[in-house]
Structure 1
Amino acid sequence: MRLSRQLISLLSVLTLLAGPPIVLLSLVGAPIQGWPTAGQAREWVQNPLTEQTLTAALTIAAWLLWLLLAYTVTIRVLTRLSATVSWLRRMPLPTRWQATAGGIAGAAVFGVSSHAITAPPPPPTQPAAAGTLDEAGNPTPPDRDVLADAGISIAGGWLPRDVAEQVSAAAALVWLRRRRSYRPHPPGPPSREDTDLAPLPPTVAAVQAALADSTPPPGEPGSASAGSSLLDRPTVGDAFPRAGVGLTGLGAQDAARGLLVTNLLAGRHHPAVSVVATRSVLVGLLGPTAETLARRLPGLAVMDNLGQAAAFFSDAPSGRGLGGRGQAQRDTQEGTGTPGPTLIVDEASATDNTETLASLATACAVVAVLGRWPAGQTWQVDPSGRTHHLDGSGSAGPRMCVLARVTATDLLTVIAHPDPAPPEPGTSGPSRHPALAGRSPQGVVTAQDHPVRSGDDKRHLYLRLLGEPTLLLDGHPVEIRRTAALQVLVFLAAHPDGADTRQLTDAIWPGLPRHSLTGRLYTTLSDLRATIRSTAGVALIEHSDDRYRLDPTGVTVDLWHFHDAVRDATTAVATDAAIWKAVIDAYPGDFAARRTWPWLDPIREATRRHVIDAHAALASASPDAREALAWLQAGIRIDPYNADLHTRAVTALVTLGDHDAADVLRKGYTRRLAAAGITPTDSDLTTATLMDQPAVPTR
């Protein structure tokens, strides 16, 4: 049936394209029969409206309409062809071993006949990731191309998988640091305006989403066990020549940015310098923000020239920077200790200081020259990161991480130190990401905004967001097949005012072209609506003016009731412990616990801070020291990374005379920060001085 409709459509288009020219040529003739003579022009000026001129005008108009139709059809056909070609390019091709296995299977199927010859079965082929056997029966390494291509493609670059994993880990560390530095203050409305609740750059969200969508099975190429030849450090497997490598081609600048980001990510847990770059190179790679960003990047040393770099290598004392050039050289040669840094210079500096660069190469893990490098190898890098040797052999080199300028800058922000004078966490200011903004004038989600269904309804929907997100019908979970559909449901519940198509696609599928996601969103919404309608018999999702929202009369959401409790505590005239306890009781767990969707963090942290504020308020208002300590300890269980709660709890323990418990709490907090990858600072250890204070008797 579908084929017949397509055939009828094709015949109709062909008729519209071929019919008008045939009719016009047979009735009128060719559209142009020569230019008019001077006499014909004078005659037309004197008498323009004749039968002949009107016929010519109508003929020209008919031809123009036909040309417009032909142009439209041509554009549609070219668009379809372009989309088909793009799809074919994205379609994964079989590897060499898969093609061989397919050929053997095909020969086995089509070669069977009545005269089939029985032959011994061929030996089983080894998986590409596990290695194969050569002709002599010796094991050979895995397919290098398969391992090298195990990465993440995003708009603006390509990252090896383990680099993407380090980006995701660094992003998580940013939120842990924000949790550590938050200082509880008098609670405010649900739509918090804390400036440190701003979401991370979109590139980071794109990496996190792509990483989640492409998790390979354990042991396969691209998994964490497979590793990458270009990370921690890029010298693994001698991928980079010791004498340095020149980078040329369209992807040279992007590859240099990839080296910069890769090494800074790999070295963020080490005190040593990870990257040394000249100032001119850094400005060329990162643009006008290079100077400001460089001051905030741990592990980056910026030099004016190679002479200054040589002095830095030789003068660095032990324990700082490189730990001394001689020790760095011995560690690099022996393969022990932390590998040396990556040195990135431009072609002019390298050519003018060949001997200096050769001496520095002994203390560096990688020396990269932006341009041709006669003293070593030169690789041509294409925009996808694939390299080819320019030594005449044309052999392929490793695939490098490639990043555009904006992409690299976004990724560097997750490992950069905060601004020198960051805004006080918890203070109000211009809202960059109004988490959970409601529809009421104060930005508070009230019960009047979301009336619940009457008690006469036998089938009731309840959406649980605090904890594991679950949709319940009369207490029983409703199965939502698509993960994206569950995301849409949670996102709409977290934004009661609704969301348009752009907001939904940017949140659910960050980093992907928006124009290609409209159909996927409609399919997801259609499946979600069908599931809820068939299960509960209600149309829960409303759509008007290109905005989707949940029908407040069709579902009860625990997050909305939590914000009602926060509003009651914020607007109460008198301080009453019961209103703060109501906030705590309405919080059974973190928002969308155990989910790692990139858009969750600002909302999850804003919700958690309301509960921390409630615990701190109860502790401050409590007349009994032990009761205040109990509230602080309960707050620590909600957020075990908050420094202010630990400081207050240690102070309370010292005041009560329990020095041992205070010491245990302080040391446990320090170990927890270290296990998470956060180096404790002096501000985290301010409670240490309290240990020497005498105990204060309590009543």
Structure 2
Amino acid sequence: MRWPRQLMSLLVVLALLAGPPMVLLLLIGPPIRGWPSTEQVRAWVQQPLTEQTLTAALTIGAWLLWLLLAYTVAVRALTRLRTTVGWLRRLPLPTPLQATASGMVGAAVFGVATNTVTIAPPQPSPPLAAGMPEDSDGVSPIHKDTAASDGGTHLAGGWLPDEVAGQVAAAAALVWLRRRRDYQPRPPDLHRREELDAVGLPPTVAAVQAALADAPASSVASEPSGSFAALVGVFPVSGLGISGPGTLSIGRGLLITALLAGHHLRNPTLVTTWATLTSLLGGDAEAFDRRLPQLNAVETIHDATRLVESAPSPRIVLLLEEECDGYDVRHLADMAATAGGRVVVLGGWPAGPTWQAAPTGHVHDPLRPEEHGPRLCVLDQVAATDLLAVIVHPDPAPPAPATPGPPPLPHVVPPKTRLPRQATRAEPRSRPDASTRQLRLRVLGEPTLLVDGEPLTIRRSAALQILVFLATNHPTGANTSQLADAIWPGVPRRSLTGRLYTTLSELRTVIRDASGMHVIEHTDDRYRLNPAHVDVDLWQLQAAIHHAASAVTNTTAAWQAVVDACPADLAAGRTWPWLDPIRETTRRHVIDACAALADAEPDPQRGLAVLQAGLRIDPYNADLHARARSALTARGDHEAATELHDRYLRLLLHAGLDGDAPDRRSNNTSTATGARRR
């Protein structure tokens, strides 16, 4: 129990406070018995070190030590008392109605304490359809612990408000749309697929995308407490300083928040100095500055003032404390406030209030401790660099030619004849008619597992992801680490082992009970789909792509087979972050086949039909649209060509891309210029 120790501590403190004064008063007496006379002062000057003077000095020293002890105890007691009073003020008291209800409940409990209460068992929840989240409340277990507090998105490198996380996901989607728009078809070839603009986005971005995919729509569309406009409204007009252990993390959060707010604006939304930018981003600061039109990095605070004065617009000005003096920063704050912006000094405000920042992003004003300040976005350097990757404009330098490497689409070989696997005691034997079952996994379009032509309901959305992931990684398969990183990015693997095994076990059981076959194999610590038991439409497309790339004769038929084998986009409508690079690579193979087939087609009408089929696969590709417009113009159908172009521009504007769709086939120079401008 704690109270004996607390009582003993109190007794010891009282003994230390009362004991020394009593001993000193009884043995020596008071430290001073009146003021010394002139004769005593003259005698002390002539002979300072006497027995009496030494005794008086030691007595005074002992009293000073006791006073220091008493002061320390008093300060601790007042601090504890102040904390207790503050806690009592925040303690919610029951209303009269709540007090009455509590009394009635207590009376009922004591009145029926001797009776036996029978509680009906909970009813099992109905199974979910394929693709629905497995959590009944619709909230991912990753974020359940924070849904009731500050919300937002928790990452390995920080925390994002809902509004900022939504802007990150939107910017990531624009990255892939921009890549789709700018891709130029090439001759079909399997050994040139290491394109830099088809690689996946950084892990922090994938974690944000996965978190928003699992979160309910209401939480994402909640009040934008961490948005740029909200921050401008919260920060003092006279400027603000931020100090404490979370200063640099909050500075990176403000950097990302301001840049995301100006992602579609022409004027910069963030002004900072090179010293501040380097302290936040490290050695990558210069590379990011060249590719961020929303950012203006200057040398000194005077340059920042001149920039704000010459081009006023709503913005945040980030500075370091050592770069500021009272007059300069006050003048800059006045100019920024006039333009609707705010000045934030990382380290301390030399001319106004300074808020204390915790590593979690919570800030508060020390002058008003009873008021809780907002929670700001916090990021470490790695997370901030990852998020900047979806904001920066593409590098204007032309991409280097890719070196030959292994094709990303594995060659699909016909399955060998296999002996039936003997069932063990731990698993039921296959049904007698299992050999007659037909399993087909459809991943081009809506992912669906068909058993004898009938869709099989898969309860967990993670299980459906695993099926598609294994289909796209055939025949190599994937181990547990690769599956966990793909399905639940940004979550520590140690907390996912049990969940992954549970999902895999349930998936294998559902398929085995419905078909009597073991579709998912586990050998050499890798999970694979058994091609002898399941047929996947993606594998047929991959086989057609390999054949078209290696065909020497009858290439037209081979390219047509690729187009015919792709009825829809890979896992259409799904927003799984791991899927984007595989989907883009597959889509580009089909676009290459469409372009090659259209170029080789002597009939203009059939060539136009092929291009239209390619536009159904990727309606954002500018090169396919330019080819289709050229085909319509060559036929003399100028009205249809104009209508096609206008519809394409509206599609780009609706997606958030600029409406300037360059015609790459007619003017390569203007295309390069436009890419640099973007």
With normalisation by structure 2, the TM-score equals 0.73
Distance 2:165 2:186 in 1: 36
**Counterparts of 1:261 and 1:596, CA distance in 2:** 23
Equivalents in 1 of 2:308, 2:582: separation in Å? 46
Post-superposition offset of 1:627: 2.3
Alignment-mate amino acid for residue 231 of structure 1: S
Which is further off, 190-199 or 583-592? 190-199
Closer, same or farther in 2 for the Cα pair 1:437/1:98, shift >3 Å? farther
> Residue 654 of structure 1 corresponds to which residue in structure 2?
633
- Write the distance in 2 (CA, Å) between the matches of 1:194 and 1:149: 40
Paired position in structure 1 for 2:448: 470
Q: Give the C-alpha shift of residue 645 in structure 1.
A: 0.8
5 Å-filtered alignment, 1:572-583, equals 572-583=551-562
- Cα distance between partner residues in 1 of 2:102 and 2:407: 58
Q: Is the 8 A contact 2:622 2:661 kept in 1?
A: no
The answer to whether the 8 A contact 2:259-2:270 is kept is yes
Q: How many angstroms does 1:198 deviate by?
A: 0.5
Tell me which of 337, 352, 358 is aligned to 1:376: 352
* Partner residue in 1 for 2:106: 110
Per-residue displacement from partner, 1:137-176 (whole Å, max 9, x unpaired)? xxxxxxxx99981211110110011111111111110000
Q: Distance in 2 between matches of 1:610 and 1:107?
A: 72
* Unmatched runs of 5 consecutive residues or more in structure 2: 1-89, 113-145, 421-432, 669-678
List aligned pairs for 1:237-248, cutoff 5 A.
238-248=233-243
Write the distance in 1 (CA, Å) between the matches of 2:99 and 2:552: 80
1:509-534 deviations in Å (ceiling 9; x for gaps) = 10001122111111111111111111
Q: Partner letter of residue 416 of structure 1?
A: V
Alignment correspondent of 1:495: 473
1:685–1:567 distance in 2 versus 1, CA, 3 Å: closer
| Residue 97 of structure 1: how far off its partner (Å) | 9.6
Aligned counterpart, 1:539: 518
Q: Does 1:569 align with 2:548?
A: yes
Aligned match of 1:446:
413
Residue from 209, 216, 230 that aligns with 1:234:
230
Secondary structure at the aligned position of 1:282 is classed as helix
Show CA shifts across 1:187-213 (max 9, x none). Answer: 123993333211000000001111122
Shift in Å at residue 115 of structure 1? 10
Q: Percent identity?
A: 50
TM-aligned CA deviation for residue 350 of structure 1? 2.6
Distance apart, 1:451 and its partner CA: 9.2
Specify the code of the residue in structure 2 equivalent to 1:447. P
Deviations 1:559-583 (A, max 9, x none): 1111111122122111442222211
Matched residue count: 530
One-letter amino acid of the structure 2 residue matched with residue 347 of structure 1: E
The AA in structure 1 aligned to 2:270 is V
User: 2: CA distance between counterparts of 1:525 and 1:304?
Assistant: 56
Relative to the length of structure 1, the TM-score reads 0.71
1:98, 1:634 → 2: CA distance?
Answer: 68
Counterpart position of 1:359 = 334
Residue number in structure 1 paired with 2:257? 262
Amino acid at match of 1:188: D
CA-CA distance at 1:364 after TM superposition? 4.4
Structure whose alpha-carbon radius of gyration is higher = 2
Distance 1:107 1:482, change over 3 A: farther
How big is each residue's C-alpha offset from its partner over 1:377-429, in whole Å with a ceiling of 9 and x where there is no partner?
211111111111122535321110111110011001101011231417xx643
How far apart, CA to CA, are the structure 2 residues paired with 1:648 and 1:682?
13
- CA-CA distance at 1:107 after TM superposition: 4.6
- Give the aligned partner of residue 244 of structure 2: 249
Q: Deviations over 1:334-384 (max 9, x none)?
A: xxxxxx111101112232523432333322422111012142321111111
Residues 684, 245 of structure 1: CA spacing in aligned structure 2 closer, same or farther, 3 A cutoff?
A: farther
Deviation readout 1:535-571 (Å, 9 max, x if unpaired)? 1111211112211111121111111111111122122
Determine the C-alpha separation between the residues in 1 that align with 2:544 and 2:92: 62
Contact 1:462 1:555 in 2 (8 A): yes
Give the Cα separation in 2 of the matches to 1:579 and 1:429: 25
Q: Is 2:129 the partner of 1:151?
A: no
How far off is 1:99 after superposition? 10
One of 295, 320, 325 as aligned partner of 1:346: 320
One-letter code of the match for 2:523?
A: S
| Unaligned residue ranges in structure 1 (runs of 5+) | 1-94, 117-144, 316-323, 329-339, 439-443, 690-699
The reply on whether 1:203 has 2:204 as its aligned counterpart is yes
Aligned residue identity for 2:414: A
- 1:449 Cα deviation (Å)? 7.4
Q: Is the 8 A contact 2:477 2:529 kept in 1?
A: yes
CA RMSD of aligned residues (A): 3.1
Does the residue aligned with 1:376 lie in a helix, a strand or coil? coil
Residues 308 and 336 in structure 2, CA contact (< 8 A), matched pair in contact too = no
- Write the letter of the residue equivalent to 1:376: G
Q: Does residue 302 of structure 1 match 2:297?
A: yes
Instruction: Give 2:56's aligned residue.
Output: none
2:379 maps to 1:409:
no
1:180 aligns with 2:176: no
1:482 aligned residue: 460
2 CA distance for matches of 1:190 and 1:524? 36
Alpha-carbon distance between aligned partners in 2 of 1:622 and 1:241, rounded to the nearest angstrom: 67
Distance of 1:619 and 1:380 partners within structure 2: 64
Q: What is the DSSP-based 3-state SS (H/G/I as helix, E as strand, rest coil) of the residue aligned with 2:392? A: coil
**1:430 positional shift:** 6.4
Give the whole-Å Cα distance in 2 for the aligned partners of 1:530 and 1:191. Answer: 40
Q: Evaluate the alpha carbon distance shift between residue 597 and residue 630 of structure 1 in structure 2; reply closer, same or farther with a 3 A threshold.
A: same
The Cα shift of 1:605 comes to: 1.1
2:573 is the counterpart of 1:594? yes
1:104-129 deviation line (CA, Å, top 9, x unaligned): 8655432338999xxxxxxxxxxxxx
**Aligned to 2:297, what secondary structure does the other structure show?**
strand
Residue 668 of structure 1 is matched in structure 2 by 647
Rounded to whole Å, the distance in 2 between the matches of 1:541 and 1:106 is: 55
In structure 2, relative to structure 1, the CA distance for the partners of 1:551 and 1:102 (3 Å cut) is farther
Residue 681 of structure 1 and its aligned partner are, at CA, apart by: 3.9
2:516 maps to 1:521? no
The C-alpha deviation readout for 1:430-484, integer Å capped at 9, x for no partner, is 66xx78542xxxxx2233579999x993211111111111111100111111111
Could you tell me how far apart the structure 2 residues matched to 1:244 and 1:148 are? 29
